Amino acid sequence: MKNMKIKLLLSISFLLVVITANAKQTAPKESLWYSQPAEKWLQALPIGNGSLGGMIFGGIQKEQIQFNESSLITGTTSIDGNAKPTVGNYQPFGDIIIDFGNLRAENYRRELSLNNAIQTVTFSTGGVNYQREYFSSYPDKVLVANFTASKKGSISCIIKLKDAHNGKIEMSGNKIIATGTLPENGMQYESQLMVVNTGGKLTVENNAIKVSNANDMRLLLVAGTDFSKDFSKDFKGEHPHALLKKTMTTAATKTYSNLRKAHIADYQNLYNRVELNLGTTPEKSTLDRLKALKNGTKDPALEALLFQYGRYLLISSSRPGGLPANLQGIWNNEYKPAWYSQYTTNINVQMNYWLAESTALTECTAPYFDWVENLARVNKKTTDPKLQTKRGWIAYSTNNIMGGPSTWGLHRPGSAWLSQHFWEHYAFTGDKEFLKNRAYPMLKDVSGYWEDHLVEKDGKLITPDGWSPEHGPGKVEGDRTPYPGVSYDQQIVYDLFTNNIEASATLGEDAAYRTKITEMRNKLLGPKIGKWGQLQEWMEDVDDSTDHHRHNSHLFAVHPGRQISPLNTPEWTKAALVSLNARGDVSTGWSTAWKINIFARLGQGNRSYDLINALFGKCILENLFDTHPPFQIDGNFGYTAGVSEMLLQSHIKKDDHYILQLLPALPDAWSKGQVKGLRARGGFEVSLMWKNGKLDSAVIKSLLGNDMEILYKGKILILKTKKGEVIKFNGQLVRI
């Protein structure tokens, strides 16, 4: 082994230098900005603290802040005595409406800074400069809006709190409180708005607060429900009033400056871990840049901005202690949003978290794991005969925060796919406690279901009753006819068993069981190549080469699975590429994002970039939200994950270490660039710089001290590392 390493070191086209530090540079300024207020919801800009989200319109005469809280839904759970549990709908919570009268504006600018998660509106009128700042604070659990003017006594307005469900409005000094109960499920909710002014006068009129001639003004908003994550209490907790009052009282004692500083410090601890620079930012508004890009103008900096926007949105919609990001993150203004705006398990909720580990947002996964474990408990306890299993658990396609299902589609491999990220979290972080207490028990539990459910046919193990979301052979939309040996099921079970085997081996537990699962995995019906060279979607060779369905379900083994790769399975890789090209580039937002990831895994950087163009051209809205259509946030998250896959891959494991592939799918359009802080499996932090389409330098920090293998342009380097060690490669050729 030692001689092999020496030979590999001699052949590598990098200069290896071990260093102990990596100098920090100033992060690029990244923001979305507009020269006009938003006229409709999908032009407004989002803020959020993981649970409390707001859409800021930036109006001049009339400002609107539409807000949501992540637990307000009309659904029920299947364990609370309901004969027919309902998935319900994620709900809007309310609006803050601020009437400034006949205020006029010059030099207007509305801007969302991704660097500090603060939205700013600035303008001037009559020689007075106005500034408004908005953010939703995770440390203080409050949404904050601050209004200032360059001239004292210039702020006058009427403030109303509108409840989206006709709840009771009460006034209490400088506070407005809205309380109510959802009739569909009895969920109790409350929002509280406090107005704090300096100078001028504050009065109460007609369930509104009037501020006259103030020097500055601050609004504080809190909102919550009686939802509890406690499974043993059927997810029913205390009325939110007391907790909201305590939260508001604490926040009100702090200065605006201190609230702002705490918010920025908390947010930047996550956001500043990764930087991406693909080019110079034009001095144009985001809307003008987006229009130009849709018309063919190149703007790599906007492509980098959308990458960071995905990270911003995940930080803003998924934080420890809360609920996972749903189909719209935490932002919704409709009573019946598309697909309930909840959690769909045949790709959507999983895609929301593809970016988390690779872009250094591992903490944001905590709500996801909590929710999956609760879903497992609910589905094991339910009396629904379709969900009852001997071992393990399964789920319907769509579920709510309590595990209540939409029963239109039983999705047997959903639990296996949901469990994948438990293993991924360990693969990136090396958290042995998490692996032992949460990941391996989940993987083993779900594997038990498939042990019982697989059947043997012609010497192979197959799933007897799968479907390939969300269509059948012959371009039949919505077909959920059970088919044996569907590739989607087979590939997910292969991935589940592989993760189970590796988890067991890592922990040194259950050797006999590991052997059994290994034997079963080896007997699984594997990928098959069909008559037109495609990777078959079905056990039978019935694929239609003109089928342009949005789902790429039979390509799970490429991404997010790891059964098919150019390194290990070239023939299957070729067939997967045939299938993917046949599907076509025109699709919905999330599907386009998935294709970016798949092409990246296949080493096709220019094809990934074609899909980036398609995404911007058809699926990115004015405020850079992704649309299915309609708005669906998984496309934003999937895009960010896809860009990460284009620049760094680490999913292939060899012996006891991972292979770090540097710039594996770099498109020609990104001939020059730099990325800092991406994460790789095995516990590595990776920064890359490239010029003229070639790697110029790489800096890799070993966070755990594991072995690693580096692959670039077919050249390999294997080396051991020490925890905390930083390794640098520059572009010089080594000649010995």
Do 20 and 45 have their domain in common? no
Q: Return the closest-CA partner of residue 94 out of 238, 219, 190.
A: 190
Range of the domain at 235: 36-270
pLDDT confidence of residue 459: 97
The CATH number for 16's domain is 2.60.40.1180
Same domain, 14 and 145: no
Q: Which of 270, 305, 333 is the last residue of a domain?
A: 270
Would 507 be classed as within a structural domain?
no
**Same domain flag for 102 and 167:** yes
- Within 8 A by CB and 6+ apart from 257, the residues are none
Residue 689 lies in a domain: yes
pLDDT of residue 179: 98
Does residue 143 share a domain with residue 13? no
In a domain? residue 135: yes
One domain, residues 19 and 127: no
The CATH number of the domain where 115 resides is what? 2.70.98.50
Residues 124 and 6 occupy one common structural domain: no
Cβ burial, residue 203 (10 Å; 0-12/13-18/19+)? exposed
Are 648 and 661 within 8 A, CB to CB? yes
Predicted local confidence at residue 407, as pLDDT: 81
Residue 104 lies in a domain: yes
pLDDT, position 291:
97
What is the predicted pLDDT for the residue at 574? 98
- Percent share of the chain, pLDDT over 90: 88
Q: Specify whether 52 is located in the same domain as 179.
A: yes
Q: What is the pLDDT of residues 404-437, one digit of tens each?
A: 999 888 999 999 999 999 999 999 999 999 999 9
| 681: its two tokens | 């499996």
Q: Is residue 34 over pLDDT 70?
A: yes
- Among 118, 120, 117, smallest CA distance to 314 is for 117
Domain count, the chain: 2
**Predicted local confidence at residue 74, as pLDDT:** 97
Structure confidence by residue, pLDDT tens digits, 200-226: 999 998 999 999 999 999 999 999 999
pLDDT at 1 (0 to 100): 45
For 456-512, write each residue's pLDDT tens digit. 999 999 999 999 998 889 888 888 889 999 999 999 999 999 999 999 999 999 999
pLDDT one-digit tens code per residue, 633-667: 999 999 999 999 999 999 999 989 999 999 999 99
In a domain, 83, yes or no: yes
CA distances from 57 to 5, 91, 127, 680 (A): 59, 19, 24, 38
Whether residue 25 is predicted with pLDDT greater than 60 in this model: the reply is no
**For position 611, what pLDDT does the model report?**
97
State residue 19's pLDDT score: 38
The verdict on 47 and 169 lying in the same domain is yes
In a shared domain, residues 146 and 7:
no
Residue 77 pLDDT > 50, yes or no? yes
Domain end residue (candidates: 211, 241, 270): 270
Question: What residues contact residue 195 under an 8 Å CB cut-off, 6+ apart?
Answer: 159, 174, 175, 176, 202, 209, 211, 217, 218, 219
- Strand partners for 224: 190
Q: Please indicate, yes or no, if residue 214 is contained in any of the structural domains.
A: yes
Taking 60 as the threshold, does the pLDDT of residue 184 lie above it?
A: yes
- The alpha helices in 402-532, defined as continuous H runs, are 414-429, 432-434, 440-453, 487-507, 511-523
Higher-pLDDT residue of 180 and 81 is: 180
On whether the CB atoms of residues 365 and 356 are closer than 8 A, the answer is yes
Neighbouring residues of 438: CB distance < 8 A, sequence distance ≥ 6: 369, 373, 422
Same structural domain for residues 80 and 46? yes
pLDDT digit string, tens, across residues 562-615:
999 999 999 999 999 999 999 999 899 999 999 999 999 999 999 999 999 999
**What mean pLDDT, rounded, does the chain reach?**
93
pTM, whole model, 2 decimals?
0.96
Same domain, 132 and 218: yes
User: Last residue of a domain, which of 270, 303, 335?
Assistant: 270
**Three-state secondary-structure class, residue 403:** coil
- Is 457 a member of any domain? no
Domain-located, residue 265 = yes
Q: How large is the average pLDDT for residues 22-40? A: 79
Give the CA distances from residue 40 to residues 64, 66, 290, 333, 508, in Å, rounded to whole numbers and listed in that order. 10, 11, 18, 11, 56
The pLDDT of 19-35, averaged and rounded, is: 66
Per-residue confidence band for 81, with pLDDT thresholds at 50, 70 and 90:
low
Tell me the pLDDT tens digit for each residue of 261-294: 999 999 999 999 999 999 999 999 999 999 999 9
CA atoms within 13 Å, Cβ hemisphere of 354: 33
Pairwise CA distance, residues 246 & 227, whole Å? 18
Is residue 362 scored above 60 in pLDDT?
yes
79 in the same domain as 18: no
Per-residue pLDDT at 83 exceeds 60: no
Round to whole Å and give the CA distance between 659 and 681. Answer: 9
Return the pLDDT at 322. Answer: 97
Please spell the DSSP secondary structure of 688-729, one letter per residue. Answer: EEEETTEEEEEEEEESS---EEEEETTEEEEE---TT-EEEE
Q: Which phi and psi angles does 51 have, rounded to 5°?
A: -125, -40
